[in-house]
Structure 1
Amino acid sequence: MYQADSKRYDNMVYNHLGDSGLQLSAIGLGLWHNFGSVDAYENQRAIVQQAFDLGITYFDLANNYGPIPGSAEENFGRILATDLKPYRDEIVVASKAGYEMWDGPYGNWGSRKSIIASANQSLARLGLDYVDIFYSHRPDPDTNVYETAQALDSLVRQGKALYVGISNYSGAQTEAIIKCFEDMHTPFVIHQPRYNMFNRGIEQDLFPVLKAHHKAAVGFSSLCQGLLTDKYLNGIPENSRAAKSTSPFLQPKQVKQTLKTVRALNDVAASRNQTLAEMALAWNLREPELACVLVGASRPGQLVDNVKALNHLDFSDDELAQIDAILADQSEIDWSRK
């Protein structure tokens, strides 16, 4: 029987989501990869146990995470029902709807029917009465933003979510839906954008909107699909994600595009007595609007290494200037195949 580490809260950092009372662990566990039906369940359990023992209390899912779609929620639901059952009130469970989940016009995007049906299915897979946060996973170009906002608001009023969030919305789209939430007094607390050293567009587009409305963000792709680690410093390992030509998430061209930059960043990290991954996570958290960074893991030890980023969150002005100079010649990563 799993028993959580009694010292799990000693070293983790917890940040408020804007002006709300909810706090997230500065590092959260994303279940996008490695938690599907094709992945070893005992390894999934070990990763989740390690996360919680390290003080990670934010667990991030979506209805379509797998493969197969929905299986990440099912597997995490099994872990919730056993290992984490005594600790349910200590953790924040989040899920999302908005990417294709089932056939037909209602298994995708942001209509009221789609969002509420997706939430009900997610709760069933997770074995929960409510999630702590439910997100609109992406804006729907063919649905009025008020309808999407109203659907999320309904989940709160029905007791199926405590808070709501959005993901992949631009600054202007975020401004528009925030006005809807304000009209309905919906507890909207979080935006989840892609953010890392190679994807910085939201610094000028989104962060000012969040700051103006006292809202926070949790960043995904925090290590840019592994590019911001030492994995690809000396080429593409045979069993890596980039080596799999069928992967929609990372291609060899993206490794080659960033190699010079990654090596220079690795030198800066070494001068700070950090790994590149540790520095990249710490650098993300320098942004005051970013309350949490999501990391994935294929084994428990990766989380132990990632949490070490919290030991050195400070940057000198010279270090930040050096990083900016290195990144100045690097274009944003093209994820058009995703």
Structure 2
Amino acid sequence: MITHQPNPSYTPSESRYQNMPYKRCGKSGVQLPRLALGLWQNFGEVDAFSNAQAMVHKAFDLGINHFDLANNYGPPYGSAESTFGKLMAKSLAPYRDELLISSKAGYDMWPGPFGIGGSRKYLISSCDQSLKRTGLDYFDVFYSHRFDPDTPLEETMQALDYIVRSGRALYVGISNYSAQQTKQAIAILQDLGTPLLVHQPRYNMFDRWIEDGLTDVLTDNGVGSVVFSPLAQGFLTNKYLHGIPDGSRASRSEQIHLNADHITRDKIAKVQKLNEVAQQREQSLAQLALAWVLQPQAVTSAIIGASKVEQIEDCVNALNNLDFSPEHLVGIEKILAGS
């Protein structure tokens, strides 16, 4: 439980809900901002707390009231949740009921067989640790971060059901599950009486796997989705228009989903052409990419990452122009197909 006295120096903008559009998450009563802030990068122990605080405050001022965490966000593992806990204690505690805060467990977190996967042992222990680090009484959404082939899906879903019934979370979610795995999870949770609220898959112009069945499963079953990596970890921004700059994510060896091997001349050429479309629409490339991923009916919201306040402001400005002409949609498809 958060017991610190909040910082009276921060008062959120009174207009925070005036311009941010919200969308119902599946068939639930939850409405999410079209953009959420993810704390995967730049909120760890190695990062400046003052910058993390400035970014979260700016996001909330702009109507982003959904903050997405996971147990192993950092670095080091756990430290993004600790940073968020410090933010809650210092300034956000009075606004807890306005916030939707999510966390996850599934990937490696601590040594040994109980520190990874989808077992009841791991999920519940990890949830308890995450609540302690954030200082929260409950999460709004708790996710199974990945499908675990070594654990019966029934066990994983029963653990999520228990996490809700025990008051540790209000809703359950899954992330990185295939269409078929999602369909099975929905059925199990429905039988348990704790319906699946949301799926969190990767989705962007260069990674469209969810279109091959997953979006149909979500739409047919009234489940929302909050997509991550809508900017392909920064590739769909003006940062890579002329190659790989020093200090960028792609230049760092620890990056799994974005590295120099993935950034080919062909992809850079496509990004340059997409940037021309963005200019025609009077948007930045990042704004174009965000508007594009928010098009499908199944997509409730997109998670943005940021290293500075200005990036959040730029992303939110994408919401001023979400409509596409048929000509632009056809042109984008031709660019992505390489024709």
Match of 1:126 in 2: 134
Alpha-carbon offset, residue 248 of structure 1: 3.1
Match of 1:322 in 2: 331
Match of 1:273 in 2: 282
Match of 2:203 in 1: 195
Match of 2:162 in 1: 154
Distance in 2 (CA, whole Å) between partners of 1:264 and 1:250 is 20
Unaligned runs of 5+ in 1: 331-338
Alpha-carbon offset, residue 246 of structure 1: 4.2
Unaligned runs of 5+ in 2: 1-8
* TM-score, with length taken from structure 2: 0.96
1:295 aligns with 2:304: yes
Alpha-carbon offset, residue 210 of structure 1: 0.4
Match of 2:260 in 1: 252
Instruction: Give the SS at the match of 2:142.
Output: strand
Alpha-carbon offset, residue 36 of structure 1: 0.6
The farther-off stretch of 240-249 and 227-236 is 240-249
CA deviations over 1:180-221 (Å, ceiling 9, x no partner): 011011032100000000001111220010011011100001
Written as runs of structure 1 = structure 2, the 5 A alignment for 1:107-146 is 107-146=115-154
Written as runs of structure 1 = structure 2, the 5 A alignment for 1:34-49 is 34-49=42-57
Distance in 2 (CA, whole Å) between partners of 1:254 and 1:143 is 32
Instruction: Give the SS at the match of 2:212.
Output: helix
Distance in 2 (CA, whole Å) between partners of 1:246 and 1:159 is 36
Alpha-carbon offset, residue 170 of structure 1: 0.2
Match of 2:32 in 1: 24
Q: Which amino acid aligns with 1:272?
A: R
Distance in 2 (CA, whole Å) between partners of 1:148 and 1:14 is 30
Alpha-carbon offset, residue 240 of structure 1: 1.2
Match of 1:54 in 2: 62
Query: % of aligned pairs identical?
Result: 53
Match of 1:175 in 2: 183
Instruction: Give the SS at the match of 1:231.
Output: helix
**Equivalent position to 1:80, from 81, 88, 91:** 88
**Equivalent position to 1:231, from 224, 235, 239:** 239
Match of 2:6 in 1: none
Q: Which amino acid aligns with 1:109?
A: G
Q: Which amino acid aligns with 2:207?
A: N
Equivalent residues of 2:186, 2:195 under 8 A apart? no
* TM-score, with length taken from structure 1: 0.96
Alpha-carbon offset, residue 237 of structure 1: 1.7
Aligned residue pairs total: 330
RMSD, matched Cα = 1.0
Distance in 2 (CA, whole Å) between partners of 1:244 and 1:111 is 33
The farther-off stretch of 246-255 and 214-223 is 246-255
Alpha-carbon offset, residue 329 of structure 1: 2.9
Instruction: Give the SS at the match of 2:55.
Output: helix
Instruction: Give the SS at the match of 1:214.
Output: coil
Instruction: Give the SS at the match of 1:290.
Output: coil
1:263 aligns with 2:276: no
Match of 1:311 in 2: 320
Match of 2:4 in 1: none
Q: Which amino acid aligns with 1:129?
A: D
1:90 aligns with 2:68: no
Q: Which amino acid aligns with 1:279?
A: L
**Equivalent position to 2:293, from 284, 291, 303:** 284
1:215 aligns with 2:223: yes
Alpha-carbon offset, residue 162 of structure 1: 0.2
Q: Which amino acid aligns with 1:105?
A: P
